[in-house]
Amino acid sequence: MNQRLLVLALLLGALATGIACSSGDDGPSLTFESVTQRGAYGVGVTTMELVDTSRPTEAYSSYAGDDKRTLPAEVWYPADPSAAGPEARDAALDADGGPYPLIVFSHGFMSNRRQSVVYTQHLASHGYIVVSPDFPTTGGNAPAGPYVAGLVNQPGDISFLIDQFLAFNEESGNRFEGAIDPEMIGATGHSLGAFTTETSIWGEARDERIDAALPISGTGCFLDSEDIGEVSVPVMLLTGSNDLIVPAPANRDAYDKAKPPRYWVELVGGNHIRFADFDLDDSIGVAALEDAGVGGDDDAIDDAVQDLELCQRKGTENDPPLTLERQQELLRAFATPFFDGYLRGDEDSLAYLQEELPDVLNSAVRFEFELE
């Protein structure tokens, strides 16, 4: 089997703002600006409460559980370019540009559905419908505090949301009627939401409808070859070299185990928290995690968390830190052509991702990929 493996860590322009490469007299079809700045659409947003009556919410600590799972969700979608502001509440969907790909975003531990609005708005402006739920027991509003073991039920939540939106797609009069292409479904998420994304494409809870996945600062520590098997969903593992919460080598484990097409992106100087919309050092997040614990009183869970912590203590770089704006800009620089390439089948986007973007960024990233 032919393999193509590209490792790029050049020595120029580590933190400079990227500029587009020239390509012939007419210039490139894509530029750094075109993939990082807002797209052609306005952005509508709406809030929904979706209830899965087929699956219970687990009991833990002082919480008695529930016979259903309630998922408040924020949904961003393409609207008319005249829509006001970064997002326009309940604006009309731009039906002329559809059907659109659907992407499910998963938030991190102790967080919520609006943790990464800059990212989700950006995707919507480029023609994606993005749904982001509050998970019942791992978020900041969990009934007895955030409970890390609730992760095991979250891939089922992703599948439920996909079910719901594909049903809306067929429902007469629904805002999303005819707006979603069922053959273009993606998943992305941050931190614990990255691991939720990974377990939605690999393992027993895999949803075969997901066509591409972008986990951000997740971990591969609990994945093994049996989880991955021969599954070859296009996946981009994206992290920061200064991540203190899930150090890059732990995230690298998932890349090493994944089947191609696979991409590894390490932002030089990126931390964990600045992938979300919070301009904070990771030391603050580490302290918050220590104060919060994991919820519940299950010894097996405590042992698993200790194993995870040991796995993830594999060293962290001490590179000059990225600003919040730069770190999020680089996230968009990779996410946009990745999803355009693998959900929309845009060959120009894949060529830009694999050939031009690395030259634009130079040593600002450590980038590697394998296509087959």
Q: Please enumerate in sequence order all residues whose Cβ is within 8 A of that of 259, keeping only pairs 6 or more positions apart, or say none.
A: 228, 230, 231, 232
Q: Are 336 and 101 in contact (CB under 8 A)?
A: no
Looking at residue 202, its amino acid is W
Query: pLDDT, tens digit, for every residue of 150-160?
Result: 999 999 999 99
Domains of the chain in sequence order: 5-370 (3.40.50.1820)
Q: Is 86 exposed, middle or buried (0-12, 13-18, 19+ CB in 10 A)?
A: middle
Q: Please enumerate in sequence order all residues whose Cβ is within 8 A of that of 49, keeping only pairs 6 or more positions apart, or say none.
A: 70, 71, 72, 73
- DSSP H or E stretch at residue 212: strand 212-216
Q: Give the pLDDT of residue 150.
A: 94
How far apart CA 125 and CA 128 sit, in angstroms, is 7
Q: Are 213 and 235 in contact (CB under 8 A)?
A: yes
Q: Angle at CA 97, nearest 5°, toward 91 and 99?
A: 95
Q: How confident is the model at residue 287 (pLDDT cuts 50, 70, 90)?
A: confident
Residues linked to residue 266 through DSSP beta bridges, in sequence order: 239, 366
Mean pLDDT, residues 263-281: 96
Predicted TM-score (pTM) of the model is: 0.88
Q: What percent of the chain has pLDDT over 90?
A: 75
Q: Please enumerate in sequence order all residues whose Cβ is within 8 A of that of 146, keeping only pairs 6 or more positions apart, or say none.
A: 109, 110, 137, 138, 139, 140, 292, 294, 295
| Residue 266, SS3 per DSSP | strand
Q: Is 371 exposed, middle or buried (0-12, 13-18, 19+ CB in 10 A)?
A: middle
Report the b/e string of 335-349 with b at 16+ CB within 10 A.
bbbbbbbbbbebeeb
Q: What is the CA radius of gyration of the chain?
A: 20
Q: Give the pLDDT of residue 316.
A: 62
Q: Are 212 and 308 in contact (CB under 8 A)?
A: no
- DSSP H or E stretch at residue 103: strand 100-106
Q: Give the pLDDT of residue 16.
A: 29
Q: How confident is the model at residue 112 (pLDDT cuts 50, 70, 90)?
A: very high
Whether 306 shows a pLDDT value over 70: the answer reads no
26-30, 248-252, 265-269: least confident range: 26-30
Q: In the chain, what is the straight-line distance between the N-terminal and C-terminal CA atoms, in Å?
A: 8
Q: Which residue has the higher pLDDT, 354 or 303?
A: 354
Q: Which residue has the higher pLDDT, 54 or 20?
A: 54
Q: Give the pLDDT of residue 120.
A: 98
CA 96 to chain centre: 27
Structure tokens at 61: 């600590």
How far apart CA 293 and CA 148 sit, in angstroms, is 9
Structure tokens at 23: 């390509």
21-35, 304-318, 321-335, 342-356: least confident range: 304-318
Q: How confident is the model at residue 227 (pLDDT cuts 50, 70, 90)?
A: confident
The mean pLDDT of the chain is: 87
How far apart CA 248 and CA 255 sit, in angstroms, is 11
Mean pLDDT, residues 307-335: 80
Q: Are 28 and 352 in contact (CB under 8 A)?
A: yes
Outline where the chain has alpha helix (H): 32-36, 117-125, 154-169, 192-201, 225-228, 248-257, 282-292, 299-312, 324-343, 347-351, 357-361
Query: pLDDT, tens digit, for every residue of 179-212?
Result: 999 999 999 999 999 999 999 999 999 999 999 9
- Phi-psi sector, 344: left (phi>0), alpha (psi -120 to 50), beta: alpha
